[in-house]
Structure 1
Amino acid sequence: MAEFTLYIGNKCFSSWSLRPWVAMKQLDIPFEEGFVRLRTPGTAADLAAVSPTGQVPVLNHDGRIIWETLAILEYLADLFPGKKLWPADIGARALARSAATEMHSGFRELRYGWPMNLRRPKGHKPLDAEGEAQRVRIEALWRECREKYGKGGPFLFGHFTAADAMYAPVVTRFDTYGGTLAPDTRAYVDAMLATPAMRYWYSEAAREAWPEPGPDE
């Protein structure tokens, strides 16, 4: 049995599941994947069997249960300091944690207006005023991270960090719904989508046989 089991939902649309999964895959932290299919009559009972909150993702580390995405990422950062889930520089680390926390608690209108759906054909979809303001904020935040601390590589802080993991589902949304993106935004989105972890997630999502969500949702 693997030391770590990460319980997730459907790869096509479970945005919160993607975050710790992509971090562990990208940084070569071995784990066993536990799966709970969402949107079924049995989903609530299946979630209750593995999660104290009835939600995924949940990390089981030899019987120790860690829930909530940021808590999982912080736990992994403590266990694997060599993976550099947070930047070493204190200023960069403060910005990375601020950006990750803002993602965890915010951008609701953008997330609802642009739901993660890897089956959906790509095409521009306008947001309402609040969602559009949040889109602008996300791009400005990505730009700030890249300009201040991202010179050493293609990610927000050069190398892949927990901040990139937190924004991975938003990257899929910009790619699906955003239409023609600003060049620097497009470069970051493309860098994230080109990672082996993201490519593998997309390939697994494409193999899911269940109908939900439909391509127009």
Structure 2
Amino acid sequence: MEYVHSQGVIHRDLKPENMLFDEDMCLKIADFGIGCEEKHCDLLSEDPGTFRWMAPEMIKHKAYGRKVDVYSFGLVLWEMVTGTIPYEDMTPIQAAFAVVNKNLRPTIPLGCPSPLRALIEQCWSLLPEKRPEFWQIVKVLEQFESSLGKDGTLCLAQNVIAGQDHKKRLTNWLHKLTIANPELTSTRK
């Protein structure tokens, strides 16, 4: 998805059914049927995407950009943690209504590591500008991988302020990444 966004494309229907593994267990993003160039997306098209994974601004037919895919990715992460589909006790319309009108998000299990919980919550933030870019998500996931390889635990960057909760630490770290990599931010808009 980092690459897809770097090409100015929004998938608009990111969900597990559109994520495939090849014979080498390499993940492939599939079904770009409703994908569009960010500059030319039809915001008024009839409900593109799938309600259970759809960002609130898309459901409401408000202006949106590539951060709708980040929102969906947060739900995919949640689904990987729980092994269930989002809002499975609701119809898709009920789920969409609850997301838009009640700011409902699925419950993250208590056993979910705090840094992963923070990333999920950041991805499905109500405000798109509060959601990270995919290049930032990649950096966080790479750090998770490195941390797991070292001591078997998930942790955030060493250079974040101690004493803050993980969500604030993640936000702070993502902000530092953006400041440290201005060329990445400008090429991805």
TM-score by length of 1: 0.30
TM-score, scaled to structure 2 = 0.33
Which protein, 1 or 2, shows the higher relative CO under an 8 Å CA cutoff with sep ≥ 6? Answer: 1
